[in-house]
Amino acid sequence: MKNKLTVGFYGLTHLGLCSSIAASMKNVFVIACDTNREIYEKRKAGIFDNAEPGVDEFLKKPNSFFKLTSEIQDLLNCDLIYISIDTPVNLLGEMDMNPVKDYYFNLIKIIPESIPLIILSQVQPGFTRELETERRNTFYQMETLIFGQGIKRALHPERYVLGSVDKYIPASIRSFLSIDNCEIFIFSFESAELSKLAINFFLATSITATNTLSVLAAKLGANWGDVKMALQNDRRIGKFSYLTPGLGIGGSNIIRDLIGLKNLSNRNSTESSIIDSILNNSNYMLNWITREFSYNLSFLRKNDIKIGLLGLAYKKDTQSTIRSSGLQFLVNFSKSFNINVYDPVISKISNMAESITWCSNYDDVIASSNVIIISTPWDDFLSHRFTQTIEESNIKVLIDPYGCVTSSKIHRNNINHSVIGKKVSL
């Protein structure tokens, strides 16, 4: 059955694209618009991030509810319009609100005030209230998409959180959000906007607690995997907590919100040293590979070292390399070592050192290296075939932060195997 609503999404980066595709999958007419020609042309050609599940495939063969356009006037036919550009960050990692404002002011020039506008972009508390003074019928909606799970998260939201000037939302918005049968919370602008930052802050604290304890576990001879099980079965922590250790807080989103919160806290004279600790810990974990490699370096003569780096994306299911431990290692260590690299979705990064060999599969990397570093836990590296290839190789050192390889043969082959949260004997 077709829903009569037409929903506009203005801004087609990750947030707008995944949200608009998911909306069309709910049988809602969608006008997906971006006036940025480069973005529009790419989407038209079916190009986004080939690691984000389902997006490129959808763009190449969209359903009948989805209309892609670069004409802002096409949004005039919508019952509600989302401003859905991902808020970029500046060099300090802070939100740059100007592009969101530009998109908003582009819209209000031509969209009548009777059509509700909803800010879906990531904003600082107070932002939407400022806009609402320019135009009534402006709202804020909290987004909780994740890179690598964009469409899935937009299809199955846990709840909706909206910000409104008087806790009222129009019927068109309510009707669209009701499709998902989840709870709709209507707060003040500030509460809704802060909720988004608060979620990322809590996630960051979990990541930091996990990383802090897992590194300690390895030193103490404890197995973080065991501790993790104990935590997952505690009702106050739970099975969905971020209990898998990793290489710091990758990407830009969580860091952006932490810096945003830190600035807000400073401006309002509240104590927030925990944020500095989180950022310090993230930097420490970002360098975990570097430290492990350095420890192993003492045991290998420099001239004998042939490094294979597997994975450049900061996590699986994305092409993004922002705050990627693998990329950082590559940039720093290619000054002194020859490095063979393979990532399933990043074939090459231009303007890099000539000492880097870009391979098209992991077999070539493993065959020509004696030190293997798995910096992104791609599914390929979790496969039985991958483990077998490692077992049959001549590698001496396996730096495997995520524990992709679990074979006991590794130890029998006298390979130094480093995993976050596991004691390694060298």
Partner 1 sequence: MVLGKNGFVAKSLINHLIKTKQKYVAVSKEDCDLTDKKSIEYLKPVMQGVSTVVMPAAISPSRNYLDVETTSKMAYNLSLVLEDYSNKHLILVSSDSVYGDDSNLYSENSKLNPNSFHGISQITRELIFQNSNLKNLAILRCCGIFGIADTHNSYGPNRFLRNALKSENIKLFGKGFNKRDHVYIDDVISLIDKVSFTRFTGILNIASGNSYSFLEVAKIIIEVFESKSQIELIGDEGIVREKNFDISKLINNFPDHIITNLREGLSLIKNKIA
Q: Residue from 236, 302, 384, 412 that binds partner 1 (CB under 8 A)? A: 302
- Considering the complex, state which of residue 186 and residue 215 has its C-beta at the smaller distance from partner 1: 215
| Binding status of residue 274 toward partner 1 by CB under 8 A | no
Does 277 interact with partner 1 (rule: CB under 8 A)?
A: no
* Interface segment toward partner 1; rule CB under 8 A; list 242-250, 287-295, 344-352, 398-406: 287-295
By CB under 8 A, tell whether 335 contacts partner 1. yes
**Cα gap 247→400, rounded to integer Å:** 11
The single residue among 58, 333, 342, 381 that binds partner 1, judged by CB under 8 A, is: 333
CA distance 385 to 363: 10
360 interacts with partner 1 by CB under 8 A: no
Tally of CB atoms within 10 A around 388: 12
| Tokens matching residue 39 | 């973005």
Binding residues among 38-77 for partner 1 as defined by CB under 8 A: none
Interacting span for partner 1 (CB under 8 A) from 78-86, 193-201, 328-336, 393-401: 328-336
**In terms of CB distance, is 127 or 337 closer to partner 1?**
337
Q: For residues 230 and 126, what is the distance between their CA atoms, to the nearest angstrom? A: 40
Binding pattern to partner 1, positions 233-272, x when CB under 8 A?
Answer: ----------------------------------------
Reading across the β-sheet that carries 138-141, which strands appear in turn?
66-69, 29-33, 6-10, 80-83, 117-119, 138-141, 160-163, 184-187
Is 425 a binding residue for partner 1 by CB under 8 A? The answer is no
Complex with partner 1: residue 294 or 360, whichever CB lies closer: 294
**Do residues 2 and 27 make contact, with C-beta atoms less than 8 angstroms apart?**
yes
290 binds partner 1 (CB under 8 A): yes
Spatial strand order of the sheet with 397-399 comes to: 356-358, 339-342, 307-310, 371-374, 397-399, 416-418
Among 54, 291, 358, 370, binds partner 1 (CB under 8 A): 291
The β-bridge partners of 187 are: 163
Q: Which residues fall within 8 angstroms of residue 262, CB to CB, at 6 or more apart?
A: 272, 275, 276
Cβ 280 to partner 1 shortest distance, Å? 7
Q: Beta 184-187 vs 160-163: how paired, if at all?
A: parallel
Residues of this chain that interact with partner 1 (CB under 8 A) are: 280, 283-284, 287, 290-291, 293-294, 297-298, 302, 328, 332-333, 335-337
